[in-house]
Amino acid sequence: MSLLILFIYACITAVVVHALLNLCTRHANRLPPGPTPWPIVGNLPHLGQSPHRSLAALATKYGPLIHLRLGFIDVVVAASASVAAQFLKAHDANFASRPPNSGAKHIAYNYNDMVFEPYGPRWRMLRKLCLVHLFSNKALNDFRHIRQEEVAILTRALGGAGQSIVQLDKLLNLCISNALSRVMLGKRVFGDGSGGEDPKADEFKDMAAEVQVLAGEFNIGDFIPALDWLDLQGVTKKMKNLHTRLDSFLNTILEEHKTGSNNSRVSGHNHFLSMLISLKDDADGNGPKLSDIEIKALLLNLFVAGTDTSFNTVEWAIAELIRHPKILKQAQQEIDTVVGQDRLVTELDISQLTFLQAIVKETFRLHPATPLSLPRIASENCEINGYNIPKGSTLLTHVWAIARDPKIWTDPLKFQPTRFLPGGEKPNADVKGNDFDLIPFGAGRRICAGMSLGVRMVQLLIATLVQAFDWELANCLEPENLNMEEAYGLALRRAEPLMVHPRPRLSPHVYTSG
């Protein structure tokens, strides 16, 4: 016990000395402005319970480029479009890697995944595999029918709900998970194709949500390495337990494939897992090699990032439309004009639905799936806006604050899709990383690899739910009283799930045809 006390005192002394030295050199290095750090913990207390809101408030006070000292780590926050463009465009190569963090270590197979893999040949190989086989235009078009089939199953499930109350996120998760798994694995992971709720799907949804919460935690051990082993917040223990459950889920998928219980082709196309395993088993030595761990890490990325963020966005959109019935009615009228009421909208119809596309963009703006983009790390010293950004600094791009910047957006807190229509303030804005006013998927080299799939899936789901149903809130709740509070995490979820009565509005056969 005496040795432990001595060790703790030594750690504290080292931390205090380091903090004092940092305070002395702060101005000499001309770091960006920011709040004065506390001893030892630095600016960690400034983050509060909702770091995205706390950092947005700090940007209002200190400007769009902020420096924080979180424990021993320099952190810079880009909270305006112009500053974000300097980091993610002019200095993109310098910020192409991720900083070390406990989530990548304990959940994502010790950095063996695509999201946290350091920038280099291995990362480029993993990204290329996904872009070619899952996210290219050809792949997306080849598997369009799968997305439309799963959305039709969801529509039938909602249409048959009758007077019952529906927790929308559960069915959205089921739909998106099965659409993704049919392409990745050649089969539905959950359910029997009826679109009804599934306990396994609920369990996976809870695990995916826990990933987003834990990955969004500012774990003290990441910023004060000497305290990492103490796991003061209990985060590491939770991450390890979650990893065990996720690994069991992924091992089951791999074992099913190896025992031949899974069909290896989808409508004439090799599914993604079959292709990955072929790389692992290829004996000629010419192609890239993947281990089981790398395959599971990649599947984990795709399942978690591909489901949780998408259904959260759709849920936010429906909540906003319920609160704005005139906008909902206008969207329904547009779809009725283009599609009619005798069939469901398809992906091929979306290009003609300009108001629907504006609704999707406004949802991405006001409720970005990731409020603070995944962190990046500076490989070398650089200068931004006349300030020194030290090598090893962590970069956070404040997507949420940029999308609510009153210098860019008129009435930024208002849900107003017309801002993206001809004659509006941003008629040509896109979400593909070219317009830094609106970067829900990030930008630069580490932009979300699944952006194209995510946009297609979100557009189709929102269009279908708008076309096929009128929406009433559970328990006779008035729309203006709907709770729109956020639950902070890596993904920005609703604090309360959306409980609704869907009311069919199309021809009856639409909800029964297979």
Task: Tell me, yes or no, whether 481 and 428 share the same domain.
Answer: yes
In this structure, what DSSP letter does residue 355 have?
H
Least confident of 19-23, 313-317, 479-483: 19-23
Structure token pair of residue 475:
């328990």
Closest CA to 115 of 435, 495, 429, 491: 491
Closest CA to 68 of 47, 91, 96: 47
| Whether residue 430 sits in one domain with residue 333 | yes
Both tokens of 192, joined, read: 């029997």
Mean pLDDT of 375-388: 97
pLDDT recorded at residue 200 = 82
**Mean pLDDT, residues 458-486:** 96
Do 18 and 57 belong together in one domain?
no
Six token digits for residue 429: 């804005």
Q: What is the DSSP string of 209-244?
A: HHHHHHHTS--HHHH-GGGGGG-TTSHHHHHHHHHH
**Of residues 461 and 282, which shows the higher confidence score?**
461
- 4 and 51 within one domain: no
Q: pLDDT over 90 for what percent of the chain?
A: 74
Nearest to 471 by CA among 493, 429, 500: 500
Spatial distance between the Cα atoms of 351 and 335, rounded to a whole number of angstroms = 11
Confidence of residue 268 (pLDDT cuts 50, 70, 90): very low
pLDDT-based confidence at residue 203 (cuts at 50, 70, 90): confident
Residue with tokens 């006001």: 366
Which pLDDT belongs to residue 256? 83
Residue type, 394: T
Q: Look at residues 218, 213, 220 and name the one whose alpha carbon lies nearest to residue 238.
A: 213
24 is in an annotated binding site: no
Cα separation of 61 and 456, whole Å? Answer: 38
* pLDDT of 4 above 70: no
25 and 72 assigned to the same domain: no
Q: Are residues 145 and 292 in the same domain?
A: yes
Q: Which domain holds residue 67?
A: 38-511
Which pLDDT does position 18 carry in this prediction? 52
Residues whose CB is less than 8 angstroms from the CB of residue 107 and which lie 6 or more positions away in sequence, other chains included = 211, 214, 215, 239, 242, 243, 246, 300
Neighbours of 12 (CB within 10 A): 14
Q: Are residues 249 and 337 part of one domain?
A: yes
Q: ∠ CA 214-218-222 to the nearest 5 degrees?
A: 100
Which CATH number belongs to the domain containing residue 476 in this structure? 1.10.630.10
Region 188-208: what's the mean pLDDT?
81
Contacts of 284 (CB under 8 A, 6+ apart): none
> Would you say residue 17 has pLDDT above 90?
no
- Residue with the bigger pLDDT between 202 and 71: it is 71
Once rounded to an integer, what is the mean pLDDT over residues 189-208?
Answer: 81
Specify whether the CB–CB gap between 104 and 395 falls below 8 A. Answer: no
Query: Any bridge partners for residue 382, and if so which?
Result: 389
Alpha carbon distance 270, 129 (integer Å): 13
65 and 7 within one domain: no
Strand residues in 299-454 grouped as ranges (E): 376-377, 382-384, 387-389, 394-397
Q: Which residues contact 250 (CB under 8 A, 6 or more apart)?
A: 296, 299, 300
User: Which has the closest alpha carbon to 274: 299, 293, 300, 301?
Assistant: 299
Whether pLDDT at 93 is above 60: yes
Instruction: Indicate if 283 and 397 belong to the same structural domain.
Output: yes
Here the tokens at position 50 are 């909702």
Q: What does the pLDDT look like over 332-378, one tens digit per residue?
A: 999 999 999 999 999 999 999 999 999 999 999 999 999 999 999 99
**In 431-485, at which residue ranges do the beta strands (DSSP E only) sit?**
469-473
Mean pLDDT of the chain: 89
The average pLDDT across 8-23 equals 52
Q: How many domains does the chain have?
A: 2
395: Cβ contacts below 8 Å, ≥ 6 apart: 75, 76, 77, 78, 87, 95, 375, 376, 377, 378
pLDDT score for 8: 52
Contact yes or no for 227/252 (Cβ under 8 A): no
Q: What is the mean pLDDT of residues 508-513?
A: 89
State the pTM of this model: 0.91
Model confidence at 20, in pLDDT bands (50, 70, 90)? Answer: low
SS3 120: coil
Per-residue pLDDT tens over the stretch 216-263: 888 999 999 988 999 999 999 999 999 999 999 999 988 888 776 555
Does 507 lie in the same domain as 486?
A: yes
| Tokens linked to 495 | 């604090």
CB 81, CB 87: distance < 8 Å: no
Q: Please write the tens of the pLDDT for every residue from 483-492.
A: 999 998 888 8
Length of the chain: 514
The closest alpha carbon to 338, from 348, 324, 323, belongs to: 348
Mean pLDDT calculated for residue range 420-434? 95
Same domain? For 357 and 233 the reply is: yes
Q: Is 397 helix (H, G, I), strand (E, B) or coil?
A: strand
Domain co-membership, 6 together with 101 = no
